Amino acid sequence: MNVEIFSLDKIRRLAEEAKIEPERFWAHRAWYLEWFRKPKVILEGRPPNDSWFVGGLLNIAYNAVDRHYRVNPDGVAFYWMSERGDTRTVSYRDLYCEVNRASHVLKELGVKRGDSVSLIMPSIPEAVYFSLAVHRLGGVLVIHYLGLSEDTLAYRLNDCRSRVMVIASSTTRNGKEIEVKRVVDSLLEKFKTPVEKVLVVKRGEVDTTERDVIYDDVKPRGRVFVDPEAMESNEPATVYYTSGTTGRPKGLYHTNGGYLVALNWSFDALLKPRKGDVWWTISELGWPVWPMANLYTIPVMGLTGVLFEGYVGHKADLFSRVVERFGVNLVWSSTTTLYTLKSLGEESINSGDVSSLRAVLNTGEPLNTGARKWLRDRLRDVYIADAYWMTEHLLPIAATPMGLGEVPYKPGSAGITFPGSSFAVVDDDGNPLPPMRKGYIVLNSVNPAMAKMYNDPNHERMVKTYWSRFPGYFYTGDYGYVDEEGYLYVIGRADDVITKEGERIGTMEVESIAANHPSVAEATAVGYERDGSMRIVVLVVPRAGLERSERLEQDVKAFLRNAGVIVDRVVLVSKLPKTKSGKIMRRLVRAILQNDELGDTSTLDSPDVLNELRDVLSK
Ligand code: ATP
Ligand code: MG
């Protein structure tokens, strides 16, 4: 669809129209996809009992592969590069052949419509082949993070009931080898799971067990064709687990039809991709961002994706070298990666020619103004876009949709209501608040991108978790406010809000100031109770190469005080406690300071961070 360029007012009107007449709005957007049978009814029921594009039949892999293979077989579907510098190019013809081969093998292993298949891989072309193969057969794709602990993975395999797993035997991340197969073997020995077969994409020599099927041994050599299953729009397509920032990760599913329509609309409006565009999504596979781009949008739109295996911060020059090498036009990145670029310094941007770049889209956390300005100053003609969304609602809640028109940037804000979604800011009792008043961010959207919980057929858990805190609204768990022009400011997680002397302070309000200090790479603010009163500690990671000193701590404290923020302590650390998707787990800092239970730490990226925290916080 060609989106015309709108004024800000017109975008607001579009959002209003979508809110009043969701069926009409979404009916027009079903045509991003090719349907085997057109939907009969656009919307049935109300969330969480809603069904979309009812009766429509389609197949995700067919939309991502077959229809482009027919018209553009030589077009590049993906470029791949590893942090070591190896590369591969995958055309749409290759993609078509490989997805069919992978589908054939999965079918031989008994995978059929409705079966869940678990996948653990780094960002390599085979990850795309097998994911799309699962969809070709009508299965439910569940991608897990690399490096989840054994018990967490065992829990998830049971939760999503996968009989078949597909893995790559190993990968390298930030120079370290991760032996995926060894971890999987060990957990399957120790824990009871439904897994019967493990299909292994071999990278080097591996030991095999009876469960294993080595892909190279069974892969058809010639051409094969596997019929794409005609899926009803509302059948589950994929299960995601939330990041685990605020508690135990929740398992949610998105559908074959509505989800795909919503994502294609989202990215059309956010980035306005053009034919031939090269788009790099900097994310690990386990975070929804990777599949959203590399499975459900880039090939569905017939674009070219960049798959990067490893850690982009491994070497300071990697980011700009990848952009130059593949002529990247669009970058979608986690907030934490953008902070990494800033902390690596000039080399991260000027080691290669980045003039092909048109937009950089941030997602994951509120992007602090310091980092945004740093990027802005270095990528002058590049649109720095933002999109605030959550696993449960994979249509942006607020964003700067440059594909629709010029949305002027406002420091600290993720943008305006994204057409198709709708939010409100409410007080403790669920009453809507006027502009500039801080409160809880809730959703009153009716759209096809709202997930449902897996294993929850009557939506009881869904209602309990999301719909009961503020009746009539879906609760995001976030805290913020809107300004007079409808810009939304996410200022922190509601659980992390700091109440001091009657005032409620969002963590972002403190962090954004701290991050403006020239010696600070990253900072996080945490409120905690001690001796009956609320205190604030700010953890600071100094810029690369800077020495840690008590003076710097005092300096940052004074810097904050000059900006009107009084904190009790500033503590220097080598890294912040983050989830695998790079979100700061403030609750762990609070738990250590208050001597509470740590709670769920299954998605904590480097568990050794806890020792450092205990050590520095006890001083
Ligand atoms: P859990 O729900 O398990 O605690 P999580 O909320 O971090 O984990 P995700 O669904 O990955 O899991 O993240 C969604 C959250 O990320 C949002 O609720 C919001 O707090 C934050 N977020 C995402 N993008 C942005 C953005 N662009 N600006 C501000 N906040 C964002
Ligand atoms: Mg959440």
**Cα 229 to ligand 1 centre (Å):** 33
Strand partners for 235: none
Residue nearest to atom 15 of ligand 1 (CA): 390
Question: Of 528, 535, 533, which is closest to residue 589 (Cα–Cα)?
Answer: 528
CB of residue 242 inside a 6 A radius of ligand 1? yes
**Cα 449 to ligand 1 centre (Å):** 15
Q: Tell me what pLDDT residue 385 has.
A: 95
Q: What percent of the chain has pLDDT over 90?
A: 93
3-state secondary structure of 378: helix
The residue from 317, 456, 483, 495 that is catalytic is 495
Residue 365 pLDDT greater than 90, yes or no = yes
Q: Tell me what pLDDT residue 3 has.
A: 52
Residue 13 pLDDT greater than 60, yes or no = yes
Which of 337, 487, 490, 587 for mutating ligand 1's site (highest number of atoms within 8 Å of CB)? 490
Residue 2 pLDDT greater than 50, yes or no = no
* Mean pLDDT value of segment 526-536: 95
- The CA distances from residue 41 to 34, 38, 236, 265, 490, in Å, are 16, 9, 18, 19, 35
Per-residue confidence at 80, pLDDT binned at 50, 70, 90?
Answer: very high
Q: Tell me what pLDDT residue 163 has.
A: 98
Residue 546, sorted as left (phi over 0), alpha (psi -120 to 50) or beta, turns out to be beta
Task: List domains and CATH numbers for the chain.
Answer: 10-481 (3.40.50.12780), 497-618 (3.30.300.30)
CB of residue 251 inside a 6 A radius of ligand 1? no
* Mean pLDDT value of segment 219-231: 97
CB of residue 292 inside a 6 A radius of ligand 1? no
Residue 343 pLDDT greater than 50, yes or no = yes
Q: In what order do the strands lie in the sheet with 474-482?
A: 423-426, 439-443, 474-482, 488-493
Question: What does the buried/exposed string (b/e) look like for 390-405 if buried means 16 or more CB atoms within 10 Å of the residue's CB?
Answer: bbbbbbbbbbbbbbbb
CB of residue 368 inside a 6 A radius of ligand 1? no
Omega cis (within 30) before 299: no
Distance CA 384, CA 289 (A): 17
* Mean pLDDT value of segment 20-43: 97
Q: CA angle, corner 329, sides to 240 and 256, nearest 5?
A: 30
Active site residue 50: no
Residue nearest to atom 1 of ligand 1 (CA): 244
Q: Tell me what pLDDT residue 1 has.
A: 47
Q: What percent of the chain has pLDDT over 70?
A: 99
Per-residue pLDDT tens digits for 541-558: 998 778 888 999 999 999
What is the CB neighbour count within 10 angstroms for residue 39? 24
Per-residue pLDDT tens digits for 107-158: 999 999 999 999 999 999 999 999 999 999 999 999 999 988 899 999 999 9
Which of 389, 476, 482, 603 for mutating ligand 1's site (highest number of atoms within 8 Å of CB)? 389
Q: Which atom of ligand 1 is nearest to the CA of 493?
A: 20
Per-residue pLDDT tens digits for 452-484: 999 898 999 999 999 999 999 999 999 999 999
- The CA distances from residue 85 to 82, 308, 351, 435, in Å, are 5, 10, 15, 50
- Range with the poorest average pLDDT among 33-37, 193-197, 276-280, 338-342: 338-342
Q: Which atom of ligand 1 is nearest to the CA of 249?
A: 3
Per-residue confidence at 4, pLDDT binned at 50, 70, 90?
Answer: low
CB of residue 385 inside a 6 A radius of ligand 1? no
Report ipTM for this prediction: 0.99
